[in-house]
């Protein structure tokens, strides 16, 4: 799935309750991290729930795994991972995630704490991307 496909999927959902259900469904599809990856090294600070983002560097590409102990947050992680999927590090740095969340109609519906956590996830991913290109 791509970010554009996610935007399209959310555009077909009228009610916020149904969007919430879809968000939970996306989170349920996210593979769980094994316990050995749920360490402070991969924990995302600034999230009210437990959140872990693990980078994987392969040649010139970077990809991520993520998990949380909260079902709604797992859905947000799933969306964030789709947004950054298959992107080179520089493109990751240039992505405006809030614009994408706006297009999905999510930004105004997630709580301020979850929004703050989402931004912390994005910051962590962009940090790893910047490190991979030496910034």
pLDDT, tens digit, 9 for 90 and up, residues 64-92: 999 999 999 999 999 999 999 988 999 99
Residue 1 confidence (pLDDT):
86
For the chain, first and last CA: distance in Å? 29
Specify burial of residue 69 (Cβ count, 10 A radius: 0-12, 13-18, 19+): exposed
In this prediction, what percent of the chain has a pLDDT beyond 70?
99
| Mean pLDDT across the chain | 90
- Which parts of 1-135 fold into alpha helices (H)? 3-11, 16-29, 71-84, 89-94, 97-104, 112-132
Residue 14 confidence (pLDDT):
85
Task: Report the distance separating Cα 104 and Cα 111, nearest Å.
Answer: 15
Strands 51-58 and 61-68: antiparallel
All domains of the chain in start order, with CATH: 3-132 (3.90.1010.10)
In this prediction, what percent of the chain has a pLDDT beyond 90?
58
Distance of CA 95 to the CA centre of its chain: 12
Are the C-beta atoms of residues 29 and 125 closer than 8 Å to each other? no
Out of 3, 26, 47, 106, which one is annotated catalytic? 47
Q: With 90 as the cut, is the pLDDT of residue 42 above it?
A: yes
Specify burial of residue 120 (Cβ count, 10 A radius: 0-12, 13-18, 19+): middle
pTM over 0.85? The answer is yes
Is 28 a known active-site residue?
Answer: no
Residue 35 confidence (pLDDT):
95
């Amino acid at each position: 799935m791509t970010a554009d496909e996610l935007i399209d999927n959310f555009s077909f959902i009228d009610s916020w309750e149904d969007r919430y259900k879809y968000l939970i469904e996306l989170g349920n599809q996210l593979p769980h991290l094994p316990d050995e990856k749920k360490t402070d090294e991969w924990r995302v600070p600034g999230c009210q729930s437990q959140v872990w983002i693990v980078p994987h560097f392969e040649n010139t590409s970077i990809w991520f795994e993520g998990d949380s102990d909260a079902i709604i947050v797992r859905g947000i992680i799933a969306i964030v991972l789709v947004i950054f999927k298959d992107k080179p590090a520089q493109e990751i740095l240039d992505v405006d995630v809030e614009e994408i969340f706006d297009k999905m109609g999510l930004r105004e519906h997630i709580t301020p704490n979850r929004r703050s956590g989402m931004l912390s996830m994005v910051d962590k991913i962009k940090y790893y991307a910047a490190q991979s290109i030496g910034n």
